[in-house]
A and B are shown apart, each in its own frame.
Chain A
Amino acid sequence: DIVMTQSPDSLGVSLGERATMNCKSSQSLLYSSNKKNYLAWYQQKPGQPPKLLIYWASTRESGVPDRFSGSGSGTDFTLTISSLQAEDVAVYYCQQYYNTPRTFGQGTKVEIK
């Protein structure tokens, strides 16, 4: 199974400041035939289901604010919130869809400092 490890576990950021979180996979998520990274990012607010933010490691889902961006390739990925808003307080998960079983990182909790 591919192990997904996120860091840090929690992050306190001031409003308007940048939040950066990382996700590392135990094997490459880059598929050689199409040069795509099989990684997604989700946001989960309390009492709600996860919501898709980013797929193919860096493609923003329709309707997601452009302050959210994804980067990275192979085994190392980053989700950045360029200017933290109050509504961004949530737990963020990365997930690989390179193979089954699908696996998730343990989550990074983003709070207001």
Chain B
Amino acid sequence: EVQLVESGGGLVQPGGSLRLSCAASGFTFSAYWMHWVRQVPGKGLVWVSRISGDGSSATSADSVKGRFTISRDSARNTLYLQMNSLRAEDTGVYFCARGGNSRETAGDNWLDPWGQGTLVTVSS
């Protein structure tokens, strides 16, 4: 069974840092694009960042560029999101989600499955 489990969320002060993790199982982790998506409780979905299967290509939303870094460790089957210089508007539930197979012609595509999410609250 394909499974994604996020951890690392919590309460942090503005300007602080946090590292989120997403443990993957049930599939060949190194073959797939992986994504982070944020959701303010009760609000919509906002895409944050993605990284290719081999980690050679990464893209982030303008709102987090220079502050957040996505990375992955294929030996540990784990995706990370390093979040620095956190702001109140970064508050939300962060989901990791699997994208497309990097080794297939279609490349990255829809997001499936999604983890249960981890809550990040930026507040003084």
A42 to B114, CA, bound (A): 11
* Contact residues of A between 72 and 113, Cβ < 8 Å to B: 93, 95, 97, 100-107
Known: A55-B109, A55-B110. A102 touches B47 (CB 8 A): yes
Q: Tell me the smallest distance from the CB of B89 to a CB of chain A, in Å.
A: 16
User: Is B111's CB within 8 Å of the partner chain A?
Assistant: yes
What are the residues of chain B within 8 A of A40 when measuring CB–CB? 109-111
Q: Are B114's CB and A103's CB within 8 A? A: no
**In the complex, which of the residues A100, A104, A107 contacts B50, with contact meaning CB atoms closer than 8 Å?**
A100
For residue B116, which residues in chain A have a CB less than 8 angstroms away from its CB?
48-49
Known A-B contacts A50-B114, A95-B110; A107 and B62 likewise in contact (beta carbons under 8 Å): no
A38 vs B108: C-alpha distance in the bound complex, in angstroms?
A: 11
A52 an interface residue at 8 Å Cβ cutoff? yes
| A contact face: mostly helix, strand, loop, or mixed | loop
State the CA gap A101–B36 with chains docked (Å).
Answer: 12
Asked if A51 lies at the interface with its beta carbon under 8 angstroms from chain B, I say yes
| A49 near B109: Cβ-Cβ < 8 Å | no
Give the size category of B's interface with A.
20 to 34
Q: Which residue of B lies closest to A59 (CB)?
A: B110
Which one, A38, A52, A104, contacts B45 given CB within 8 A?
A104
| A17 interface residue (CB < 8 Å to B) | no
In the complex, whether A61 has a CB less than 8 A from a CB of chain B is yes
Q: A97 and B110 in contact (CB under 8 A), knowing A49-B115, A102-B47, A104-B45?
A: yes
29 contacts between A and B (CB under 8 A): A38-B109, A42-B45, A42-B111, A48-B116, A49-B95, A49-B97, A49-B114, A49-B117, A50-B114, A51-B113, A52-B110, A52-B112, A52-B113, A55-B109, A55-B110, A95-B45, A95-B110, A95-B111, A97-B110, A100-B59, A101-B62, A102-B35, A102-B47, A104-B44, A104-B45, A104-B46, A105-B44, A107-B44, A107-B45
